Structure 1
Amino acid sequence: MEQESLDYILVPLGLFVLVLYHAWLLFTILRHPTRTVIGLNAESRRQWIFSMMSDPLKNGVLAVQTIRNNIMASTLLATTAITLCSLISVFVSSTSDSTNTASQLVYGNKSPLVYSIKYFTILLCFLVAFLCNVQSIRYYAHCSFLATVPSSAGKKESMEYVARSLNRGSYFWSLGLRAFYVSFPMFLWIFGPIPMLVCCCIMSFVLYFLDTTSSFTRQLHLRSFREDHAESAIP
């Protein structure tokens, strides 16, 4: 097999592995949320909002401090992403002729166009991470105001709206973090399509254990959720 044809076979195969895994993850989150960490965390945040908003005057400081910590985490990732975007742009513009002296250890297509596509995909990953984290900050900041409104105490519709906003902020944070994860195989693509394919397979395998929950964890959370529902039903 010629080296130039490796990129046309192995790179789409690696991307297909990542897309297939995340399609399965999205299906599982929508149909069986308790089997995933994302689904369990979403329900936990919903219960937390209901607990905090039951008495905003008493729990307001704790709620704002907790949401502020999430804002700081999103700000850190957003700053890192936009900084890496700037560094990649400067690097590409200053080394436009470096692709002609590519190492012989790098298999695959070594044309300048392919190298430009490689750097563009990395840049795109960090831009997506930046935009997702900015949206996450937006939702978190909005929740910090809504969670401390005294008039919302005891109103289930208001609590549900705040819980949805908080979960949307967390979903955007997760998407931004996924963009960082995807940037790893895109970075290894610079060294050839073989490291990129291996990284995609290993990352999908590792993410499976990070995204799914064990039976013990599911039972522990479900028991806690049932207890919360039982306590809220007591007049």
Structure 2
Amino acid sequence: MDKSWDPAFVNAAFRLKEGQISNPFKSKFGYHIVQLVQRNGDEAIVRHILRVPPVNEEEIAEATARLDSVRKALVAGTIDFNTAAGRYSNDEQASFAGYYLMNRRGESLVTIDEMDKSIVTILDKVKIGEFSQPMPFTDEGTNKKGVRLIYLKSKSEPHRMNLRDDYNRIATAALEEKKYKALEKWLTTHISSHYIMLDAGEASCPQLKKWTDAAKTYASN
């Protein structure tokens, strides 16, 4: 475990001594009981019991009604989206991204294949500048049920990738390729002077051939 995890979980775990078990506490994933098995500085090995309280239909209906009222205020212009999201959203992480949906590269321009299916379905019914109707959903990461309201700020038409429209995406891909080549060069240079242990189940992978060849050469010497 590292400190990039949910703060409530990390704080509860790092307050424990090795072998100690926490009292029940709540994180964004549900309710936990944690045992600290081992700690080494800022890293720890823990085990835990997680209980996710079920969300019933009455709670879904209540959240839908509340978001419907929020949507009416947004359409009327009596509140802006960021203010509404900050006041009514339970997604604590979204506030760091200005309540934009972000992909894994930290970009707010997200392709359809990077969204969960329920969002794609909603966007099919929304035009640029419009707010969706409140829609129940199940979070793909936590499996928790909720209701959400989506604002479509902009949308690009299908096109061939180019520097004008996709500069950041192309720059990120080029940087990743450069990192990969630098790492590959370092590995190739040092492969003969380092101990190599390969999982037997992965030894037949073509990308590992240089490692298996090096291991065979070392063994024959």
What TM-score range do you get, normalising by the shorter chain?
A: under 0.3
User: Larger Rg: 1 or 2?
Assistant: 2
Q: Which of the pair is proportionally richer in helix?
A: 1
User: Per chain length, whose mean CA-contact separation is higher, i.e. which structure has more relative contact order (CA < 8 Å, sep 6+)?
Assistant: 1
TM-score, with normalisation over the residues of structure 2? 0.27
TM-score, with normalisation over the residues of structure 1? 0.26
